[in-house]
Chain A
Amino acid sequence: MGEPSREALLDEEMELVHPRTFLGKYIWSQDAKVIAIQYALTATAIGLVALVLSILIRLQLGFPGTFSLIDPSSYLQYVTMHGMIMVVYLLTAFLLGAFGNYLIPLMIGARDMAFPFLNMLSYWFYLASVLILVAGFFVPGGPTGGGWTLYPPQVISAGTPGAEGGIVLMLVSLIVFIAGFTMGGLNYVVTVLQARTRGMTLMRLPLTVWGIFMATVLALLAFPALLVAVLMLLSDLLLGSSFFMPAMLNLGEPSSHEGGSPLLYQHLFWFFGHPEVYIVALPAFGIVSDILACHARKNIFGYRMMVWALILIGVLSFVVWAHHMFVSGMSPYFGFLFATTTLIIAVPTAIKVYNWVLTLWRGNIRLTVPMLFAIGFLFTFVNGGLSGLFLGNVTVDVPLSDTYFVVGHFHMVMAVAPVLVIFAGLYHWYPKVTGRMFHQGLAKWHFWLTFLGTYVVYFPMHFMGFAGVPRRYYAYGESSFIPDSVITLNMVITLAALVVAAAQLLFLINMAWSLRRGERADPNPWGATTLEWQTPHTPPRHGNFGERLPVVYRWAYDYSVPGAPRDFLPQNQPPQAQGEEAPR
């Protein structure tokens, strides 16, 4: 590990590796910005795989039995891989790996991450984990089909798809991912704490950095739970131990295991799993806050409250995990406790939502593409959050558990909402990253098709859940409790899903086309205040800020300041320069 002194991080002479070859610049790069782009491209590629899987799932549900390619085993494999890829390998990697790497050093006024070599390793571990995961498709038996939560004894028992080899690759891939994330996470935390430029106090950090910082702290403390669970599961599978495997009959044969507790796995998994929701949500909260303020030309409402809500959500996210286990036979008192903590966490979350709405209130709202996606996030997050209040109550959760209500809820709050923020962020920072503007028309089509399309996909699922339609079923057959309307609804949902998937092609085409053909971008096209828009070069070069690091005099939300010559004041603009009154 390189060990720069704190002075070196802040100094103008931080030692940076300046490679001259193509391989050194773009492949084995230690520049956080290149690493961010590597993360983004890899996450997009694996995300597309998960998107194709979701289409296969939808084709089976909308038109059961029509496609011979999808049999019951492969259906379960698609569901499992889709879930795991989207949650861990796309959302976590994109929001922390891509946005974290690009934005942290630029936004805090640093030349690079604190430990650039470790940062590079982090990406290569991530890539390895993705390749190992994808290898699951090519081994005999295919990838695991035990559900993305990988519950034992199901997931490693003979008869479950992928129990031969796919599950081993999934578990190994997760271990590699966690190792890689640890290196990246270490960098994010130390860089935020140590490498802030002069004047960038904690309370002047843009909320994006706060969100990524808190999410990384959560991840560093929560991923060990997944690591332990995965190691124990792997030991049960390969070495014959019985951490999680009870004595049981499997396909009529007694298993060799005895004395393990499957429930223990659930505790460990969800001790990671629930903070994971916030590992994804907190960076999204941060990014959306900055985009709303910038495109509404207004300071964020209640900045200090926003920071403390992030911290509070982070702390509380560790005490709600068992609300995922209400139907596991837990004591009602235990359930009551976790229902209460779940409802309490809604308070700081609601504070954030109110503050976003109040930021928009009487703002000079510009309906740019990033703003459209950010507002789309607000709607979707509120919808998904409200259905979470249903599921947080034990008595409501029990009948709704394992129905499409749950699928609708978590896709709204955990899938569509953060993905809308990823798009908002990509469109917002695309001009800085590439130096080109994207095509506005295509981007607006992309937004409306995605936003409205996902509502057609997920909103009806709540009603299907009320009707008792169970999730994870390959086909419903002649089940008398499934009304015909559900069959029709499933067809409509599938058609909408196809439209949403096609809309993502618009996004990819736009990104690729604009890279060469897009208009040259102004260094600060949105009139933003944060430091990444004040770099001497667009795209920023290695070292970010030219010869001298910027000095910060103000927070990141000086928009529409009365008496100022422009409607924004960059963070590095000294007070005297525009005739502002010197502070008291």
Chain B
Amino acid sequence: MIPSLALISLMMLLLGAWLFRHTWGARPWEVQATGQLPSRQAPPEATPARVGLGVILAMVTSLFALTVSAYLMRLGMAGETPSLRLPGVLWANTLLLMTASVAWQCAWGAARCGQPGRLRRSLAWAGGLSLTFLAGQGLAWWQLTAGGITLQASPVGAYFYLLTLLHALHLLGGLVAWWRAWRRLGRGGDIASGVELAALYWHFLLLVWGVLFMLLLMT
């Protein structure tokens, strides 16, 4: 449980430090006249949607950290020696996800600068590459299963399916946001803030995949 503890402690410490900064030295029992009231209590860039995304990412971090912890604990236990040969297609998938992240970044830039053509192209690439990534993950599953590493046969291999499934489900959730942005673009709505959040979400999922992939490679 050490990785989970470390990450959750880090998140709690960050929250604690932020709260500390905003509460330390306050004298709550004092009244303030109208002119002394602070006009705003959060920096302007901390929009509700951004803060909401931060909360979701903290929760997802906890979810993956706990699953990784379970995996590491299982590895540390006596029993089956793990011998998981990862399919080569995972390297290609990693590249796909990286490119998808770049496409999202481009879409974000285009949305900020008001370039609808570039935005549409980038969004199309981002969605297409992400879908291809999911298909690639499916291929990796099929190759592993064909090689005899099934969910039932290998307790350690089962973690591969669990981790990749959780990651894929999160990506699918992100694709819902992508679909909404795509449809809104077609109707000519403003999607800059949605694209920004989706881009950040994709970068986060790339980071998670990087950690998972490295972990699977090393073990």
B46 near A314: Cβ-Cβ < 8 Å: no
Contact A196 B151 (CB under 8 A): no
Stretch at the interface among A201-209, A394-402, A427-435: A201-209
Instruction: Kindly state whether residue A64 has any CB partner on chain B within 8 Å.
Output: no
Q: A235-B158, A256-B152, A557-B29 are in contact. Are A3 and B49 (CB under 8 A)?
A: yes
Question: Chain A, 442-475, contact with B by CB distance < 8 Å: what is the 0/1 string?
Answer: 0000000000000000000000000000000000
Query: Which residues 34-60 of B have a CB within 8 angstroms of A?
Result: 34, 36-42, 44, 46-49, 51-52, 55-56, 58-60
Contact with B along A233-262 (1 / 0, CB 8 A): 001000111110000000000001011110
Interface pair A261/B58, CB less than 8 Å apart: no
Interchain CB contact under 8 A, B51 and A190: yes
Determine if A235 and B8 form an interchain contact, defined as CB atoms under 8 angstroms apart.
Answer: no
Choose among A222, A307, A315, A574 the residue that contacts B34 (Cβ–Cβ < 8 A). Answer: A574
* 15 cross-chain CB contacts under 8 A: A182-B56, A182-B59, A194-B47, A194-B51, A201-B26, A201-B28, A202-B19, A222-B62, A232-B162, A552-B37, A553-B32, A554-B32, A555-B29, A575-B33, A576-B33
The answer to whether B66 touches A225, judged by C-beta atoms less than 8 angstroms apart, is yes
Number of interface residues of A (CB under 8 A): 73
| Interchain CB contact under 8 A, B52 and A186 | yes
Closest 5 CB pairs of A and B: A259-B155, A224-B63, A203-B26, A3-B49, A203-B28
Contacts A299-B29, A311-B19 given; indicate if A196 touches B12 (C-beta within 8 A): no
A residues less than 8 Å from B9 (CB atoms)? 315, 318-319
Q: Are A318 and B5 in contact (CB under 8 A)?
A: yes
B22 within 8 A of A: yes
Contact of A580 among B31, B42, B63, B74 (CB under 8 A): B31
- Asked if A241 and B155 sit within 8 Å, CB to CB, the answer is yes
The listed residue (B29, B33, B152, B156) touching A239 by CB distance below 8 A is: B152
Alpha-carbon separation in the docked complex, A304 to B158 (Å): 48
B33 and A582 form a contact (CB under 8 A): yes
Nearest B residue to A307, CB-CB: B23
Q: Assess A5 versus B22: contact at CB under 8 Å? Given A186-B55, A198-B37, A241-B151.
A: no
B residues less than 8 Å from A268 (CB atoms): 66, 70
Given A221-B8, A553-B32, verify A271-B155 contact (CB < 8 Å).
no
Known: A194-B51, A217-B15, A235-B162. A243 touches B28 (CB 8 A): no
B12 touches A220 (CB 8 A): no
Is A537 an interface position by the 8 A CB rule? no
A232 touches which of B40, B70, B79, B152 (Cβ 8 Å): B70
Other contacts beyond A186-B55, A224-B63, A239-B152: 9, CB < 8 A: A1-B52, A3-B47, A201-B41, A202-B41, A224-B60, A228-B70, A551-B34, A554-B32, A558-B29
Q: A189 near B55 (CB under 8 angstroms)?
A: yes
**How far apart are A358's CB and chain B's nearest CB, in angstroms?**
15
A222 contact set on B, CB distance < 8 A:
62
> Most chain-B CB neighbours within 10 Å: which of A1, A256, A551, A576?
A1
Neighbouring B residues of A580 by C-beta, 8 Å: 31
CB distance from A427 to the nearest CB of B (A): 27
Q: Nearest Cβ distance between residue A115 and chain B, in whole angstroms? A: 7
Are B155 and A260 in contact, with the CB atoms below 8 A? yes
In whole angstroms, what is the CA distance A259 to B48 when docked?
Answer: 46
Q: Which residues of the partner chain A approach B158 to less than 8 Å between Cβ atoms?
A: 235, 241-243
Most A CB atoms within 10 A — which of B34, B59, B62, B80? B59
Tell me, rounded to whole Å, the shortest Cβ–Cβ distance linking A135 to chain B: 24
Nearest-CB residue, chain A, relative to B34: A574
B44 to chain A, nearest CB (A): 7
List residues of chain A with CB within 8 A of the CB of B58.
220-221
Residues of A within 8 Å of B116, CB to CB, are none
A303 at the B interface (CB under 8 A):
yes
Q: A193 interface residue, CB < 8 Å from B? A: yes
B80 pairs with A311, CB closer than 8 A: no
Contact status A554-B80, CB under 8 Å: no
**Binary per-residue interface labels of chain A (67-91) against chain B in the complex, 1 for a CB within 8 Å, 0 otherwise:** 0000000000000000000000000
- Known interface pairs A6-B48, A190-B48, A271-B1; A204-B28 also in contact (CB < 8 Å): yes
Q: Indicate whether A477 reaches chain B with its CB closer than 8 angstroms.
A: no
Asked whether, in the complex, the Cβ of A261 is within 8 Å of the Cβ of B52, the reply is no
